[in-house]
Structure formats: C-alpha cells, structure tokens
C-alpha cells in the first residue's frame, strides 16, 4: 500500500498538467476585449449527442440576449489556384461579448479550431476565475465559425428570414451545432452538404442564419434554409461572399446586392480573381468592418491551405494573433 501513496503525488501532478494544457484550466487570456484561447482535447460526446439527441452532463441553456436587431457579419472565400485558399469572416455583434478561440480534437472526429461567443455560456467581460469554468465544457457545442484539419471552414451570418427543415425522420440540431457537425466530420464541401441533408436545423426565430462553407480544394457553398427547404448555392468563380440577406432569393449579379459590405467584398475579390494573401484578406475584412451599436467584435482569416489562423479583436488591425492548426490532407 505504501508504494501507491508514493506514486499518488506524481499521478495527481500529471492529471493537473493535463487539465492545465488540455482542458478548461488551459484557458488563457490574450487581450482586454477579452479574447481567450483554450485547448479541449477530450471527448465532448458530440457523436453521442448526434445519436441520442441528449446533451452530455446537462443541457446547454444559452443566456438570452436582445436579438431583435440583425447581426452585421461578413464572410468570404478566396479560392484562386494562384494563391492560398482562405475563408475570412467579421463577426459584428455586441461589443461586450468575450470571445474564445477553441482548439478541439475529438476521438472519431477531425481536429479543429473555432471562435466562440462566450456570452452565450453566461460570461461577460470580467476575468473568468479558476472556479468559474464549468460552463466551458459546453463551448465545443457553440462554434460561430471555424476550420478543421482537412481544410474545411465555415462561418454563419444572420438573415432576415429562414425556416429550418422539419423532416420527422431526421434528428434536429440547433443553428450553431451544425457548424460543429461540419467541423468534426466533413473533409470537403460536398461532405458537409451531405451531412446537412441528414439533419433538421432549428433557428432562433429572432435571428435565423445562413452559412458559407469552403474547402482547401477550392470549392465553396452558401447554405440557406428557406420555407423548410435546404438550398445550396455553389461557387461559380474562385470566390464567394455572404453577408446578411438571402442570396437564393435576391440572386445578385456581381456587386449589385442591397448590402454595401457584400458589394465591396465581392468587387475586391473579383478584381483579385479570388487570389488574396492572408494580410490582404485582413485588409478586406477591415474595409467592411463596422463601428456603432453592433461593431465588429472579431475578424478572423482561416488559411485552408496551411492551417494558419489570424485573429483581430475590436478592429485593432495592428494587433494580429496568429495560431496554427496542423493540416492533414488525406480524407
């Protein structure tokens, strides 16, 4: 028995090291917005949730916010053969919402990196103490945009209307949970669309969403839900843009949409024929960023070719946080 007592401190130290580097205790604050980064290497049981419809531990109850105003997000894919494949996104919302850059590596799924609005887990701008991190275990279920190891990236934007599919034979996921579905299990845009065809989606009625998905092979698609129907609009050029209107109904030709941010991003990508560097992508995001009541909280560029992630907070484009997700090229 004595020898077990001798090794117990070592086991506890190893367990603490795991928590500090690969769990909620790995949470690290990077700036004053605040932006945090966390590595979640364990199993958050998303595969069990897909099978049973039951959340692990306890259900996620996002904190309610006033969502009667539309978000002002901008997302684009730059997919030229002459440059690296990128997905860039501005998330425009309430300025006091803290953000998390979350790395996950689930068993049976793809490793990924995603941005999370922590206000939906009950956090605000105050420091998250050591004993206030239990809700972070649910962060993998609330990605707002992200990229996986296969070079598939996805971002969401609010739209004026949208109705999720209601097939009684299919399981229903929440609006941002389908982003997790894509990140964990899709190695291409085609696979992402196939996955979405096998689930219903339920939107917050105040803020329905649509999605832009892109992959390292140069494919992209805007995914929308209109009248209970899944609509997929694939890229016809080596670029694609989505903001805050239903593209499948408005069907803009070039930079002729009702949204100035869409037009500006589309024209810049058309002029470049979809060939942007990472810094150029951030410059484009800066040009369509917003101040005011719903400012740009974060700008992020996912490099689908290299796995690099560049994050800017609060429109401070002089301060770029750079991270890397190891890419794997085989399906």
- Is 331 inside a domain boundary? no
Under the banding of pLDDT at 50, 70 and 90, the label for residue 23 is low
Instruction: Look at the chain and report how many structural domains it folds into.
Output: 1
Mean pLDDT of 205-226: 96
The residue segments making up the domain with residue 198 are 2-59+70-324
Look at residues 243, 244, 224 and name the one whose alpha carbon lies nearest to residue 234: 224
Are the C-beta atoms of residues 149 and 178 closer than 8 Å to each other? no
Residue 85 has pLDDT above 70, yes or no: yes
Confidence bin at 302 (pLDDT 50/70/90): very high
Q: How far apart are CA 143 and CA 182, in angstroms?
A: 11
- Output the average pLDDT for the chain: 88
Indicate whether 265 belongs to any domain.
Answer: yes
pLDDT of residue 38: 96
- Contact partners, residue 295, CB within 8 Å, separation at least 6: 92, 95, 289, 314, 315
Q: Determine the pLDDT at residue 65.
A: 47
| Full-model pTM | 0.90
Of 288 and 23, more confident = 288
Q: What mean pLDDT is predicted for residues 100-117? A: 97
User: In angstroms, rounded to a whole number, what is the distance separating the alpha carbons of residues 162 and 179?
Assistant: 17
**Residue 89 falls within a domain, yes or no?**
yes
Evaluate if residue 68 carries a pLDDT over 50.
no
CATH number, domain at 181?
3.60.60.10
Averaged pLDDT for residues 246-251: 89
Whether 64 is in a domain gets the answer no
How far, in Å, CA of 161 to CA of 135, rounded? Answer: 30
> Shortest CA distance to 76 belongs to which of 248, 213, 278?
213
Segment among 32-41, 58-67, 174-183 with least mean pLDDT: 58-67
- Phi and psi, residue 109, nearest 5°: -135, 175
pLDDT at 183 over 80: yes
| Structure tokens belonging to residue 222 | 């805007």
* Residue 12 within a domain: yes
Is residue 329 one of the residues assigned to a domain?
Answer: no
Cα 115–Cα 180–Cα 16 angle in degrees, nearest 5: 65
The gap from C-alpha 156 to its chain's centroid, in whole angstroms, comes to 7
- Residue 330 in any domain: the answer is no
Closest CA to 137 of 60, 49, 37, 65: 60
Instruction: Tell me whether residue 65 is in a domain.
Output: no
Say if residue 47's pLDDT is above 50. Answer: yes
Measured CA to CA, the distance from residue 32 to residue 4 in angstroms comes to 45
Helix/strand/coil (H, E, C) string of the chain? CHHHHHHHHHHHHHHHHHHHHHCHHHCEECCCCCEEEEEECCCCCHHHHHHHCCCCCCCCCCCCCCCCCCCCCEEEEECCCCCCCEEEEEEECCCCCCEEEEEECCCCCCCEEEEEEHHHHCCCCCCCCCCCCHHHHHHHHCCCEEEECCCCEEEEEECCCCCCCCCCCCEEEECCHHHHHHHHHCCCHHHHHHHHCCEEEECCCCCCEEEEEECCCCCEEEEEEECCEEEEEECCECEEEECCCCHHHHCCCCCCCCCHHHHHHHHHHHHHCCCCCHHHHHHHHHHCCCCCCCCEEEEEEEECCCCEEEEEECCCCCCCEEEECCCCCCC
pLDDT of residue 67: 46
Q: Which whole number is the average pLDDT over 216-242?
A: 96
Beta bridge partners of 74: 90
């Amino acid at each position: 028995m004595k020898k077990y007592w001798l090794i117990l401190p070592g086991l506890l130290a190893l367990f603490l090291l795991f928590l500090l580097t690969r769990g909620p205790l790995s949470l690290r604050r990077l700036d004053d917005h605040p932006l945090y980064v966390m590595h979640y290497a364990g199993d958050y049981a998303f595969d069990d949730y897909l099978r049973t419809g039951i959340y692990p531990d306890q259900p996620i109850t996002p904190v309610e916010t006033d969502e009667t105003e539309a978000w002002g997000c901008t997302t684009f894919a730059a997919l030229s053969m002459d440059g690296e494949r990128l997905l860039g996104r501005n998330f425009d919302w309430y300025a006091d919402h803290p953000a998390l850059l979350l790395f996950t590596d689930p068993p049976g799924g793809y490793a990924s990196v995603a941005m999370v609005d922590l206000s939906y887990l009950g956090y605000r701008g105050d420091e998250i103490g050591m004993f206030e991190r239990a809700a972070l275990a649910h962060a993998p279920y609330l990605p707002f945009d992200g990229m996986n190891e296969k070079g598939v990236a996805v971002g969401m934007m609010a739209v004026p209307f949208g109705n999720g599919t209601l097939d009684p034979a299919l399981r229903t996921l929440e609006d941002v949970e389908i982003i997790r579905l894509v990140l964990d299990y899709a190695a291409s845009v085609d696979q992402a669309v196939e996955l979405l065809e096998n689930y219903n989606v339920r939107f917050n009625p105040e803020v329905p969403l649509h999605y832009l998905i892109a992959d390292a092979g140069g494919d992209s698609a805007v995914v929308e839900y209109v009248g209970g129907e899944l609509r997929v609009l694939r890229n016809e050029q080596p670029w694609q843009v989505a903001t805050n209107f239903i593209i499948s109904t408005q069907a803009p030709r070039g930079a002729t949409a009702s949204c100035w941010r869409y037009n500006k991003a589309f024209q810049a990508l058309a002029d470049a024929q979809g060939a942007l560097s990472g810094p150029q992508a951030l410059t484009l995001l800066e040009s369509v960023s917003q101040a005011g009541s719903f400012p740009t909280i974060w700008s992020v560029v996912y490099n689908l070719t290299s796995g690099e992630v560049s994050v800017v907070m609060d429109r401070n484009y002089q301060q770029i946080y750079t991270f890397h997700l190891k890419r794997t090229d085989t399906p």
